[in-house]
Homo-oligomer: A and B are copies of this chain.
Amino acid sequence: MERNTGYHVAVVGATGAVGEQMLKTLDALEFPISQLTLLSSARSAGKKISFKDEEYTVQEAKPESFEGVDIALFSAGGSVSKLLAPEAVKRGAVVVDNTSAFRMDPNVPLVVPEVNENDLHDHNGIIANPNCSTIQMVVALEPIRQAFGLKKVVVSTYQAVSGAGHLAIDELKSQAEAMLKGETVEPKFLPVKADKKHYPIAFNAIPQIDVFQENGFTYEEMKMINETKKIMHMPELKVAATCVRLPVVAGHSESVYIEVEKEGVSTDEVRTLLSQADGVTLEDNPEEQIYPMPLLAEGKPDVFVGRIRKDLDEDRGFHLWVVSDNLLKGAAWNSVQIAWSLVKQDLLTRKN
């Protein structure tokens, strides 16, 4: 095969909210594609999707769908990944998996290119894409860790419904419409489709994302805690999270309190550092009311950081406000960045 003609890429979950953004991102990042295979559950198979002026018919994902595939981007739920990612690897594909299925597997690198791109060298066919709320936080924290050390993180999240898929977006919009008319609503989807109870999200804040664990934290909170330690290679880092769903369509926000190792660091030093950091856009000018907001972050691949303040009591304490489009850097953009990095570092199974 001629070099550089491109790669056979498969997108699993192509009809979902993240899959949609993956296709946009493959286009935006000019990923070299020789062949594109769009896969989904049996239920969504047959749908038509356009990519670069060509129409594709979505096929049901099966083990044999991955014959000849070089890179498979998975975002169709953990159970699909558990079943089909090994099948894709068996057939020579490298999998970038956007579910939580393999994230904590010690044999699977969990990668945010700005933070731990080198971990890609240890891959065994599967690379895990971290949880959306984790990704944007570690992009903001890694430059600080490198410069000043990092001891402790306490994060409270303000998460958009798009992280829960198209159905959740529709639910927010239809509930908002009904409630504005004074009608009652019957929640069916949020906070977790498969959980026992459902609550309205419009004009509300729900302190539950994903299901509860035995320790009283939600799975989303434990993802942030465990994934942050793994990505930053800091099992000893103190991390705590409270994750909250908001009536916001797209863009997660995070109020992050950190304690660094170094004494005497100033707010301006943190600002300067982040203004030069990979993947970060500093939006921090209180005098001009410049700070990140989800409505402004939607559709952009950057991690926006602002409201940087040194704590008034703790010399090593700092507060940050971190916002990013959870479907982009939090999911699709990071996955395609990983795929590009695999290409550039010549880490695919089949060399093109």
Contact = CB atoms under 8 A, between A and B. Distances in A.
Contacts of A152: 313
B267 A200 contact: no
Contacts of A291: 207-208
B249 A203 contact: yes
Contacts of A7: none
A242 B319 contact: yes
A19 interface: no
Given A177-B180, A242-B321, A309-B215, A199 B255 contact: no
Contact of A158 (B180, B199, B205): B205
A309 B205 contact: no
Interface stretch (A73-81, A121-129, A281-289, A338-346): A281-289
A244 B255 contact: yes
Nearest to A285: B212
A261 B314 CA distance: 17
For this chain, the copies found in one complex come to 2
A91 interface: no
A306 interface: yes
A247 interface: yes
Nearest to A176: B176
Interface in A270-318: 286-289, 291-295, 306-309, 311-314, 317
A314 B204 contact: no
A257 to B, nearest CB: 5
A205 B322 CA distance: 12
Contacts of A289: 191, 195-197, 208, 212
Contact of A294 (B173, B205, B288): B205
A118 B207 CA distance: 35
B212 A286 contact: yes
A71 interface: no
A242 B216 contact: no
Which 5 residue pairs of A and B lie closest in terms of their CB atoms, listed nearest first? A156-B255, A156-B156, A238-B313, A212-B286, A204-B295
